[in-house]
Structure 1
């Protein structure tokens, strides 16, 4: 019979590799780390050795003659007595397909060649610890289920959103429900409670969910066969970081026997000896009488040393006296208490435990015992593994996230001195990715991110790292690069890799990159600082036209700091009402009569003077200030229009632009209503301009909002038509009044037959749908003549009028009842 792992003083590792040199290297590394080593030169020898010696871990090469490592691993998993042994596969490739084959064959983990001795020792130690813990947890769960069955104590959890009450095996037995009924609705659970007590428990659970006190009471159950059982029930709520309840948890304990005859209560000996939980027994004065093996194993205390100690010597010191006083008072009053307590190990380490305290004493008996049963609530290893992935990787692209990227960058910088070259950090942002998400949907956006991730990985070496630290951001670590040159080559390769168009959902479009680069020997060796400088360079690349890469410089940093200062100043100026409106007139293209105005915001900066929208709208969108800025523009435009009418001028419409963020606000319709009500302006004198991307974010919601605005009498204009994914479908479905031709097409109507054809088509299409057409950016008389001949209704641009302050607008429109030539 081979020696078991618990009998060995030194863990035994079986090395399987057909290369003697590799086996020797592995043996030397592991023996130097204190492990016992046995070798096998091929797969069949490995299987025989594994049966004979039952090693604690197997290091298995992938490439071997006769039987490769995948086949050997698969066969080893079929041998019952060693099927749970950890297997570390050694491969010369880091390709994902190799890893997937290894895991499919049953490998616990894999390590690439060439093997780093420190990494190998770390893997082996980690896998041995994990294997031992998994086995202990498996046995613990079995003992816990058995202990709960013996203690007649079941537990449950209730998720309100799902309305599913999940029951433990013992809870199902107490309720006498079918073994396969692992969950019930709350209503079904309440049906098991005696009718006289059902409503009180329902109210108690409702109050508990609304931040009421925990439940702790006895009640009766009605089983399907008609018999009654007394149970002790407890319930509490679990809250999230914001203090909101996310689930209810509780226990039910069958106390029928205790209710009928408490004098027959004895120490639960079988529970004590077989439980996977820690059990401690004291006398009524609080002196330790006995502890079980699990208690000793998990805390480090020896039984012979701890027996006779006062219970106070075992407390963690993390609870105050009032906490313990409440426990003893509850046990005194009810005979039972359960809750979470910080416990202490022999080495002083504190750990959370779910503790139950039972008073074991018969009626009228002064002497008795207290029985403490505790479950270690430290995280299960399997859960840790899953959480490790979620906390270190991006599930969408399977790339490292920012946390893991920082760790790898730190490692690269620490190891920089032992290698030639330097470390380069590339911070990558997808240009105009939000537009893709808004117009084509998040599913297409996700596919784009996955494809970009794939292309980036193709452009770098296996020793480099690519990560996704943000929504549309990627980052790359280049190790051992020649100063400047290698980083520039990779950056250009990344830019070139996206030169071909993407084709999704029947549409073809391009994605470009803006890349910032920081170098360790020039820009510093602090990981956060390097990332920040690379990001700063990326911002500058975007501002200089996008689809390019730029190295970080101090001048660039100064530029970014100035931009941040502008954002702060923008917020302050909005609070101080340092914005005003200019108005650009619109005119009939045939009669040249004035027809209305478009309101345009201007920033009256206290130091820099009047600033045009092109220099602050993007900042407003980035900071979220576009919403209050847009509401301010709406109110000022409505108030000014009403003032003109009160002064006797003929009513006319004023157009106000709505941003995408404004349109996304839930109270947009209410905001517009308040602006009209507060200023007294008629809805017929307001025109709201939206863009194509706005209405394509959520089509059905957009239709609903626009119809409500339209029903109020407000005119709806579609701005910048032709620059996005123009569609006859939404022109047909959306309640529009006006179509505005973008200035990029108007500019070319005289010089470009293609632009002229587009404009003709837009005008004809709009008129066929009974929409008024307005041409933006008219700058020459030739353009106006062309538009007039094609039937364009109105024109707007520098040819006919520049945007001007309110006091200068009045020269364009007559008194009430008259008209005026432009």
Structure 2
């Protein structure tokens, strides 16, 4: 069916381009003719039609689109395959060429191997098309002939149907290869075409690992009913003996077929499964890359002896084309990676960094978020290159890049600009302190020695910080500000971080000093607890207390939690501080009980970091045992946001606390997630209404409604309600009228030292309760 020599017409107004294409096609043995314009090409086609045309797009006078359109509207040349050639690589140019009627599109400069594959494929398709036309003509003659044998007519019909099917597979998969630039999408489309147009019962494609033996199914189409799951299980269990055809195709690097699965003893393991799914024949076709198998295209047919020589030949061509497409995708991915990533460290390069910064700034402007940029420069990096060589310098840069990445939050970007310069984008910051915290993490991490080729090195860095929008509203301004801040850091002796403004640097210095003082305060035991009583809104008696930490700073005096707790949270010091608060509160409560005072519960706030500790329940259990406090007199308060971050884990932890007898409360209720659907699943005893609702409860209708709803909902769930921040008789009366259970706030008592709280317990102080009136 294959013609001995194919004639290819090359149409290009540039003589050099025509000569180059002739040279590229010569090894394939094609006969080439040339035309230097669209008009000349049309005249040559009319006189002596070629088998294929390579048609340049941009030509003076009649361009390639016009030539293709004229050829495709002429019935005599409609089936003449055309490959458009263009230096333009955009999607619009390709679509314009395909719309004009071209079968394929190649981008200049032309890759020789790609040219050969595309030309060979289209000539192959033309052969099938011509062959089909001949058979259709013969069939028509046979039908008209009175003496034509019926069997001959049926044979011709069958052959035409078969050729149509083969033509459809090759044509559609080649079209998919031209169109698709995604590996998974190409696999899926190839399987679909094989089933829908090739009439296969099932088709699947799997990738091969670097060793050339491990197989992973990635795409499939057709009637499966769990067959591929069994193959996947066999692969996972390393049952190579049950996948003999696949293993053989991988080892021999060539197609392997079985035209009678049910009778092949090598496939005995699959006989029943294949019979149930009507798989009679199968073919395994390797996908190659660099002369090694990179995947398999596996097809199943419902007919015996389905894979004849013509079928195998065509499917071998199809898999060769898919293999070439995979190589093209691989090269394209590598080029894209190299264009946007630093080769040495794997971090985003300057180009990708700039794209991400522009996008981050757009999002920050739209959502009114804060954004930070950190310029990082390694101190004295030149000394490493000069003393140990550039190879050691490269190894150092790779290690440092990995360390910087560890310090980042999810969604942040760290990039390498070149040399020893790095830059960081901190997206969606909650406060300006976030940028400072990240810079301190980096500086702290860099204090650890690095080992490079047997040499232990201590490498420091300088960091410049700029913030959006105060230090710049576009990428250029922000980067200039960060660069200026880096200059300040270097002038201050390196190994430090600086903002670009004196105000921000003063604030950062104050925070750093506070953190250092905080570390010392824990060792020096400079903390103390104040206790705020909770009272019953019916009896007025004290029912419990909340332990609130204070810091007796040696210079600044008594500091309240709002001053130092955020620093403790961010630095991680909240964990040892929280354990001190918990132990001290339990010891104090037990001491009052031993003194014969009325037993009441003590509430301790847990921080988010504490709640995430894996051994939190064990820590609390141990402290209760050591202080001898009954668990029923300890309450732990958590915020809504803490328990909603990971609901399942939160429920598990809270259930463990419930099991040991510790009571639980949701603090600041109403300002967090307000996830009422989940509330019923938490084993809690109390809800605390946030003081922001209580403050205006008598003057703000919305706050009043919210408070009433919270109280009613909590009671329906069997929970008690505690109102925080009660400061007036009106607030107390409103809460009492609407059946709130308890309250705490300045109306009864502010948080007070232990000795003053002891007096309240000894004297059994109560809040005077008058009958609430309707407000």
Using structure 1 for the length normalisation, give the TM-score.
0.44
More strand, by proportion:
1
Larger radius of gyration: 2
